[in-house]
Amino acid sequence: MSYWDTDEFNWLSNLLAEANDNNYSVILASHSQLGSATGNSNITFQSFETLTSAGKYRNSQNYSYGTYPDKFQGTVAGETIDNLNKNEQIMNLLQSYKDIIICHLHGHWHIDMFEYYDDAPDILAIGVDQGGALRAVYEAERTISLPNWYVFNVITFDTYNKLIKIVRFGNDIDHYLRSKKVLTYDYANKRVVTNY
pLDDT, one tens digit per residue, over 143-183 is 667 766 678 899 999 999 999 999 998 888 887 888 999 99
pLDDT, position 41: 83
Domain boundaries in the chain? Answer: 6-195
pLDDT on residue 172? 86
| CA distance from start to end of the chain | 36
Going from the C-alpha of 11 to that of each of 5, 15, 71, 76, 136, the distances in angstroms are 10, 6, 21, 23, 40
Q: Which pTM was predicted?
A: 0.82
pLDDT at 4 over 60: yes
How much is the pLDDT for 96? 98
Q: Is residue 30 a contact partner of residue 104, using CB atoms and an 8 Å limit?
A: yes
The predicted pLDDT at position 175 comes to 76
Tell me the per-residue pLDDT of 87-96, one tens digit each, with 9 for 90 and over: 788 999 999 9
Max CA separation in the chain (angstroms)? 52
Q: Which residue has the higher pLDDT, 105 or 2?
A: 105
- pLDDT at site 67: 43
The region, left, alpha or beta by phi > 0 then psi within -120 to 50, assigned to residue 66 is: left
Degrees (nearest 5) of the Cα angle 52, 126, 88?
85
Mean pLDDT across the chain: 80
